[in-house]
Structure 1
Amino acid sequence: MLRAPLALLCVLLMGSVNAQTGALTVEATQADIANKQTEYDNYNLALQTQMNQAKQMKEQLSKLREQSKKLEREKAIALEEMNSQFQKMIDDPSLDIASARLTYTESVNAHKQNKLDIQNQLAAVQEKEREVASIRVSKHSLLNTLESLKEQLNNSRVERLYSQFNKSGTLSVQHAVDCDLEEVISECIRRTEQLAKQKASKRYLDKIFTELSESATASAQRNAADTSVKVESVKVTNKGFSGVAKYSVSMDVGLKGNLTRKQACQLLELNERYCVEFPGGGEVAKKTESQKVKYDANLMYELTIRSNVFDDEVYIDGVSYGSTKLSVMLPAGEHSVEVIKLGYQSYVEKIELTENRLIRVNLNKDAQSFAKGEKIQDILSNDKQGPRLVAIPAGGFQMGDITGRGLDNERPVVSYKIEASFGIGEKEITVGDFGQFIAATNYVTVAEQGKGCAYYSNSEPKYDMQMNWRNPGYEQDNDYPVVCVTLDDAKAYVDWLSTSTGKTYRLPTEGEWEYAARAGSDLDYWWGDAIGSNNANCGWCGSKWSNNSASPTGTFKRNGYGLYDVIGNVWEWSDTGSDIVSVVRGGAWNFAPSLARVSTRLEIASDFRSNYIGFRVARDR
C-alpha cells in the first residue's frame, strides 16, 4: 500500500463541479496557504531559536571543558603544595597543614563538579540537537505542504473558471435587417435570425467574462484564448416585416460557454500542465482492466528508425538493436525508444505502435562534447559492472537562487569553482546496485534495524516499521532508485564501492551536484524556467508516477551532461562536509515542482530515511 498525501492529491481528480463549489475550493485553499505560511514562518523562527540555543549551549560546553583543564592544573598545584607541607610536618609535627589540605579538597571537589557539569551539558546539547533535527524534518514537510497547496490552488482556479464559464443560460434578443431588394425573402429571414443568434452569443460571452471570479485576469487574455459559446436552443417569440422591406425578429436563445481546460490555463496565464488530468489518489494509480488500452499481441508492425549521424546506438525497451538505419518488427503496444551517441544529446521517446511507423531522429551535439573514454564504469570485485558514471569537466558556475524564486538557504548566489573533473552517477543508485552491496557485505540498513522508514502522509512524515529499501510502500523493480537509506547507509555503500573497485568513490558535494545538474544552465530546471508536463517525476508534474511512486531510473530525458533524474524522482544525499547540517538535493516524486529546482536544498537530519530519499555517487578521476 502506497503512503502518499491523500488530502493533497484528491483535488487533482478532474471532474464537473459547480461554480459555487469551485469558488469555495479556491477560497478555502487560499486560507490554507495563509495558515500554512504562518505556520512555516513560525517553524523558521522556532528553528532559528533552537539553533541559537544549541550554539550557546555548545559554547558553554566548550567553556566548561576549558575550565576543566584549569581546574586540573589547580588540583595538581594544590596536591603538590599539600605534599610539600606534609614533608615539612614530618620534620616539624607542630606544623599546621590544614589550610593546604582544605585547598586540595576544594580543588578536587571543584574538578568533580566540573566533570558532572560537562556530562549534564553534553546531554543537554545532544537533546537540543535532536530537537533541531525534529524541527528540520517537520519544516521540510510543511514546506512541501505549502508548495503543494499552491499547486492545488492553481488546479482549483482552473476548475472554478472551467465551471463558471461553461454554464448554460438564456438571452432574449431582437434584431432587424433591411432586406436587399435583390435578396430572396427566405434568405433575408435566415440572415436576420443568424445575426440575432450572433448578437446573443456575443452578449452572453461578454456576460460570462463579466461574472467570472477572476474577470480582470481572464479578460486581459480573452483574445489570446479564442473563447466561444455554443447555441443550444432557439425560440422565436416574434417576427415579421414592416415598412418596405424591413424584417425583424425576437427570440430567446439558449447558450452555453464552450471553454476547454487548455483555454482556461490561457485565460489565467497558467502553465498548460494545470489543464491536463493528473494521476490522483493516495495509492499507486493502477488502471482497471476496462481502462487499460488493449493491444493484440499477435499484431506486428514495422518500426523504422533513421538518424542524422553514424555509429549511434538504438535501444528499444532497454534492449540494444544496433545503429541506424534500423527496421524491426515489434508487437503492437507501447514501446520506449532511445537513440544515443557519445557527444550528442540523446533522443528519448515513448511511442504507441498501432501501425507501421518511421521515426526520423535528429541528434544535436552536446554543449559539452565528451572525448572517448569519459563514460566510466568500473568492474566490481565480483567481476560485475558498477554504476555507470559520466565525466564532468572542471569549470565554474553561479550556485544558488539565480532566478530569485528560491528559498532563503539558496541565497546569496555564490561563484563556485570546480577545480578538477570528476565522475558522477549517470543515474541514481538503483535497488539492483544496492542489492549487490548487501549481498557482498550483509550490511543492515538503519530502517532494517527495527527503526523503519518514513512515508509522507497528511502533510508530515510518518514511520512504518515494516518499510525499508526492499519494501518502500510502493511496487518497485531493480531499476528503481533505492530509497529508505540514511546518509550513513549511503556512505557505507560508497565505501564498499571504493574497496570493491579500488577507486575513490564518495557522495557528490553540494557544489558538484548542482554544477552537474545544471549542465551549463542558469535556469530553475535544466530545460527552462517552467517544469512543464511529463519532463520529470515530481508531484503535479504530469507523469503517471507523479504523487504515486518513484519511477525507473532513466525514464526521462538526460540533461546536457548526460545525467538522468537530477530533477525529481527521489531526493539525493550530498556531502556537505559538516557533521551538523545534512542536505538532500533534486526534489522527489511526491514533492511540489517548485522544490525540484536545481538550486533547492533541504536540510535534514543525517539519520532520516524515507521512501522519497536516495542518492547517486561520485568518483575522483
Structure 2
Amino acid sequence: MGATSVLDRLAGSLVADPELVTLAPGSFDHPQPGEFLGEGHPVAAPRILAKVIGPLKIMKYQVSASEYGRCVTAGSCKAADTPGSGNFPVTGVSHIDAEAYTIWLSAQTGATWRLPTDAEWAYAAGERFRSDIEGGAGDPDNPARRWLAQYRTEASLGRKSDPEPRAQGAFGINSKGLADVAGNVWEWTSTCYVHAAIAANGISIVSSIDNCGVHVVEGFHRTYMSNFIRDGKSGGCAVGTPPDNLGFRLVRERLNVVRAALRHLGFS
C-alpha cells in the first residue's frame, strides 16, 4: 500500500472524514478577483495564467449541517443562522464561522483543513465557474452606466431566487467530480478583496491594496462579502442579486501522521 493510501485511510479512521476529490496539478486562464481601475475608472479584471501546484484535495460536497453541528456541539463553532440537519449543506455562516470550523476539524483529524483560494475554487469548479459580472469600460463622467450594464448582464443570465437549501447532490456533479458547484449555496474562499490600479497596457498592476475584512465568495458568479456576513441578502454583495445562501467546502492540505495516530489512539 502506498504512503498516500496509508495517510488517507488513517485520516478517515478518526472523525468521519469528508469525501474528497483529488485533482491533478494544472494551469488555466483566469480573470483576477477584485476591483481594478485604469486611469481612475473601473476596467475589466486582467487575466493571468493561474497555476494549481500539487494534487488538490477538495471536498466533493459542501460542509453539511450535521458536520458543522458537531463543531457547534463541541463549543468550537457558533450555531448557524439557518436551522438545518442531515446531509443538507450548512448555510447562514460567515467567513469567521468557516475559519472556526477549519480550526476545529484540523484539531479533530490531524490534517490541515482550509478554505480554497479563488483560483483553486475556480479550477475545481471547471465549466461551472463564472467570474465577476462585468459592466464593460467605465465612464468617468457617468459611473451609473457601468452599474446598469452589470445588472443587465446578470439579468440576461436568467438567475432566479432559490432560497431553500437542497440535499447534497441536488445540483449534480461537474466535470471535475464536485457536487453542487454554483447551485444555490455560494461558497466562501480564503482570497481577500483587492483594490488595484492597472497600467496603460491593461495587464500590469501598478499598485494594489488587500482588504482582508472582505473575502471572495463563489457561486452563480464571483462576488465579495464582508467576513461577518451570514446572510448574503442582508447586504455586502458588490454587484447584482445577493447570494441565496452562504456556505463552504474545504481543502485538505496535508496530514500529520503522528498527530493523526495519537488522535486515533485516544490521545489529545
Normalising to structure 1: TM-score of the pair? 0.28
Partner residue of 1:127? none
Equivalent in 89, 99, 108 of residue 491 of structure 1: 99
Q: SS state of the match for residue 116, structure 2?
A: coil
Residues 213-252 of structure 1: pairs in structure 2 closer than 5 A: none
The structure-2 alpha-carbon separation of the partners of 1:444 and 1:509, relative to structure 1 and needing over 3 Å to count, comes to closer
CA contact (8 A) 1:584 1:602 kept: yes
Distance 1:386 1:501 in 2: 8
- Residue aligning to 1:505: 113
In the alignment, is residue 607 of structure 1 matched against residue 228 of structure 2?
yes
Alignment of 1:461-500 (within 5 A): 468-469=81-82, 471=83, 476-500=84-108
Per the alignment, residue 176 of structure 1 pairs with: none
Aligned to 2:29: 398
Q: Aligned to 2:58, what secondary structure does the other structure show? A: strand
**Quick one: which amino acid aligns to residue 510 of structure 1?**
D
> 1:516, CA displacement in angstroms?
0.6
What is the aligned counterpart of 1:585 among 218, 231, 238?
A: 218
Residue 90 of structure 2 aligns with an amino acid whose one-letter code is: V
- What does 1:35-114 correspond to in 2, within 5 Å? none
Higher normalized contact order (CA 8 Å, seq sep 6+, divided by chain length): 2
Amino acid at match of 1:468: D
Distance 1:523 1:506 in 2: 20
The separation in 1 between residues aligned to 2:107 and 2:59, in whole angstroms, is 17
How far residue 576 of structure 1 moved from its aligned partner, in angstroms, is: 0.9
Equivalent in the alignment of 1:575: 190
Give deviations 1:192-245, integer Å, cap 9, x for gaps. xxxxxxxxxxxxxxxxxxxxxxxxxxxxxxxxxxxxxxxxxxxxxxxxxxxxxx
| 2:237 aligned with 1:619 | no
Q: Distance in 2 between matches of 1:438 and 1:522?
A: 31
For residues 189 and 163 of structure 2, the distance between their equivalents in structure 1, rounded to whole angstroms, comes to 25
Match for residue 68 of structure 2 among 431, 434, 437 = 434
Q: Distance in 1 between matches of 2:23 and 2:222?
A: 21
TM-score by length of 2: 0.61
- What is the CA RMSD across the aligned residues, in angstroms? 3.1
Contact 1:571 1:612 in 2 (8 A): yes
Shift of residue 571, structure 1, vs aligned partner: 0.8
Counterparts in 2 of 1:340-489, with a 5 A limit? 378-379=11-12, 383-400=14-31, 411-439=45-73, 441-445=74-78, 468-469=81-82, 471=83, 476-489=84-97
The residue identity in structure 2 corresponding to 1:430 is S
Amino acid at match of 1:494: T
Distance 1:396 1:409, change over 3 A: farther
Conserved 8 A contact 1:398-1:522: no
1:389 shift after superposition: 1.1
The C-alpha deviation readout for 1:429-475, integer Å capped at 9, x for no partner, is 00011012222x21352xx5xxxxxxxxxxxxxxxxxx814x2xxxx
- Counterpart residue identity of residue 567, structure 1: A
More helix by share: 1
**Greater Rg, structure 1 or structure 2?**
1
**Letter of the aligned partner of 1:609 in structure 2?**
R
1:299-353 residue CA offsets vs partner (Å, 9 max, x unmatched): xxxxxxxxxxxxxxxxxxxxxxxxxxxxxxxxxxxxxxxxxxxxxxxxxxxxxxx
For the structure 1 residues 496 and 414, does the alpha-carbon distance in structure 2 shift closer, same or farther, using more than 3 Å as the test?
A: same
Measure how far apart 1:415 and its partner are. 1.0
Return the letter of the residue paired with 1:490. Answer: A
SS at match of 1:504: strand
1:563 aligns with 2:196: no
Task: Supply the AA of the counterpart residue of 1:421.
Answer: P
The code of the aligned residue for 2:68 comes to F
Which amino acid in 1 is paired with 2:23? I
Deviation, structure 1 residue 547: 2.2
CA distance in 2, matches of 1:584, 1:523: 12
Structure number with higher strand proportion: 2
Provide the identity percentage. Answer: 31
- Offset of residue 548 of structure 1: 4.2
Partner SS for 2:223 = strand
Return the offset for 1:416.
0.3
Tell whether the 8 Å contact from 1:574 to 1:582 is kept in structure 2 after alignment. yes
Counterpart AA for 1:552: A
Q: Indicate conservation of the 8 Å contact 2:130/2:222, yes or no.
A: no
Alpha-carbon offset, residue 384 of structure 1: 3.7
8 Å Cα contact 1:410/1:601 also seen in 2: no
CA distance in 1, matches of 2:22, 2:164: 29
Give 1:386 deviation, angstroms: 2.1
Equivalent pair of 2:63/2:247 in contact (CA under 8 Å) = yes
Contact 1:428/1:615 (<8 A) preserved = yes
Distance 1:557 1:501, change over 3 A: same
In structure 2, C-alpha distance between the alignment counterparts of 1:548 and 1:499, rounded to whole Å: 33
What is the SS of the residue equivalent to 1:555?
coil
Return the alpha-carbon distance in structure 1 between the equivalents of residues 85 and 26 of structure 2.
37
1:101-157 alpha-carbon deviations (Å, 9 max, x no partner): xxxxxxxxxxxxxxxxxxxxxxxxxxxxxxxxxxxxxxxxxxxxxxxxxxxxxxxxx
Structure 2 CA distance for partners of 1:523 and 1:603, relative to 1, 3 Å = closer
CA contact (8 A) 1:389 1:425 kept: yes
> Residues of 2 paired with 1:389 and 1:432: CA distance?
17
Contact 2:187 2:218 in 1 (8 A): yes
